[in-house]
Amino acid sequence: MLSNKPLAERMRPGNLSDYIGQDHLTGSDSSLRKSLESGIIPSFILWGPPGVGKTTLAGIIASMHKRPFYQLSAVHSGVKDVRETIEKAKKQQFFDNPNPILFIDEIHRFSKSQQDSLLGAIEKGIITLIGATTENPSFEIISPLLSRCQVYVLKALEDQHLKKLADRAIKEDSYLRDFNIKISEYEALITSSGGDARKLYNALELAVSSEMQALKDKKKDIVITDKIVLSQIQKNMVLYDKGGEQHYDIISAFIKSIRGSDPNAAVYWLARMVEGGEDVKFIARRLIILAAEDIGLANPNALLIAQSCFDAVNLTGWPESRIILSETAIYLACSPKSNSAYMAIDRAFEEVRRSGNKPVPLHLRNAPTRLMKDLDYGKNYKYAHSYRGSFIEDDYMPDGLRGIIFYTPGDNQREKEFRSRLIDLWKKYYDYNS
């Protein structure tokens, strides 16, 4: 049996020299490294995927500067906890002691009022805030707090980083180094980790533990292969994702079920995600994207419903949010589907990249000054509302692109109406039978 303390915790680096994978932040020439070495620690937010070292970096920084270090989890802490921690920090403000560091993990889960409670302490220098989030701070952190913090982006660990971590663990870990462990294949370890060091260590520890149990001779080599790793991952899925679910596979199945108009599969995968501990706001955001990408103009109300779902989830909290998510998922699954708007903008992007910045035709240009009017800006522009039906055929594309079609109406009731109108207006472009 292995140590009760997880390998990921045993291998947590204690200094920047051992900190791997974020050279853009901690390398010798990086702005953050220079700031830290000069003794300046600003309040900042660490934004990046799980298992890339956000908590570790905060701890290293506190240790480097011998700062008191308070840690809260936004999942389990409230305004009361924040205020109590700030009061503790105030009591340490004497004899020019440096202000403590308050590290808040998953800070995106704090409500507006919880985030508001931090502002005064940061402004007065009572604490230095280090927040960690897996979500875009622009959406999840209130503007007053964000304006007082730097934002540093951490990247998923690359293959060479993960391989180095695995090799370091079998050589330096206080427990594993007592065994003759060799890693003959790395692909399963690296692939299953998805750039997450914690998952890598969990997979390695499981594989080593299973092989130890099969060996009686402690001195005999333990060889870790892809087959062994994959076998243990399948048996111990709970250690690899929230609630034991494969995050990306489950969200993919959820989206594809709605796209495929199957409400039963949609609510099943929704339940799997929620039971697995998935962030409900992440699910709600994906529904907004799906409404635009897969339903689009076939039912424009779908986007409004999805946006309302996101707002309602933020207002109501859990467990009531499950009903709102279910209602929205079923509505989107039962809606007619069209990706015509999605395809249209992508075709337009392709054309812009191919043909470059073509000049705007003179008659479409703005003419706010006499000089521009003298240069024929806006000349001969036909104001559509001055004509019958608020339409007059004109050229709205740059030279060389006239007649090109980016938007093709989908085969659904709403867009069939669009197609009919476009044929009436632009017969030479949209009447495919002419």
Q: Quick one: pLDDT at residue 264?
A: 93
> Do 206 and 138 reside in the same domain of the chain?
no
**pLDDT digits over 364-412, tens only?**
888 888 888 888 888 888 988 998 989 888 888 888 888 888 888 888 8
Q: Quick one: pLDDT at residue 240?
A: 34
181 occurs within a structural domain: yes
CATH assignment at residue 316: 1.20.272.10
For the beta carbon of residue 364, count every other beta carbon within 10 angstroms.
Answer: 14
> Do 259 and 359 reside in the same domain of the chain?
no
280 occurs within a structural domain: yes
> Do 213 and 236 reside in the same domain of the chain?
yes
Q: Quick one: pLDDT at residue 167?
A: 94
Tally of helices (H runs) and strands (E runs) in the chain: 21, 7
CATH assignment at residue 108: 3.40.50.300
Note the pTM of the prediction, 2 decimals. 0.56
Choose one of 240, 274, 306: the last residue of a domain: 240
Structure tokens at 68: 């008191």
> Do 350 and 327 reside in the same domain of the chain?
no
> Do 33 and 131 reside in the same domain of the chain?
yes
111 occurs within a structural domain: yes
CB 226 within 8 A of CB 232: no
278 occurs within a structural domain: yes
382 occurs within a structural domain: yes
> Do 53 and 70 reside in the same domain of the chain?
yes
pLDDT < 50: residue spans in the chain = 1, 237-240, 242-245, 434
11 occurs within a structural domain: no
> Do 329 and 374 reside in the same domain of the chain?
no
Choose one of 95, 120, 153: the last residue of a domain: 153
Q: Could you give the strand order of the β-sheet that contains 44-47, starting from the edge strand earlier in sequence? A: 69-73, 101-105, 128-133, 44-47, 150-153
> Do 367 and 256 reside in the same domain of the chain?
no
> Do 327 and 371 reside in the same domain of the chain?
no
Q: Quick one: pLDDT at residue 329?
A: 96
**pLDDT digits over 299-356, tens only?**
999 999 999 999 998 887 767 788 999 999 999 999 999 999 999 998 998 888 888 8
Q: What is the DSSP string of 369-411?
A: SHHHHHTTTTTT---GGGSGGG------S-TT-TT-------S
Q: How many CA atoms lie within 13 A of 176 on its CB side?
A: 28
55: containing domain: 22-153
Choose one of 105, 123, 153: the last residue of a domain: 153
Count of domains observed in the chain: 4
421 occurs within a structural domain: yes
Coil vs helix vs strand at 181 = strand
